[in-house]
Amino acid sequence: MKLALLALLGPIGLPELVIIFFILILIFGAKRLSGLGKGLGQAIRGFKDEMGDAKADDPTRSE
Whether pLDDT at 1 is above 60: no
The answer to whether position 39 is within a domain reads: yes
User: Does a structural domain hold residue 49?
Assistant: yes
Percentage of the chain exceeding pLDDT 90: 16
Asked if residue 13 belongs to a domain, the reply is no
pLDDT tens figures, 37-62: 889 899 999 999 988 877 776 666 55
Q: For 1-63, what is the HEC assignment?
A: CHHHHHHHHCCCCHHHHHHHHHHHHHHHCHHHHHHHHHHHHHHHHHHHHHHHHHHHHCCCCCC
Residue 37 domain flag: yes
| Number of domains the chain contains | 1
Residues 6+ apart with CB under 8 A from 55: 61
pLDDT at 4: 67
Domain extent, residue 50, equals 29-54
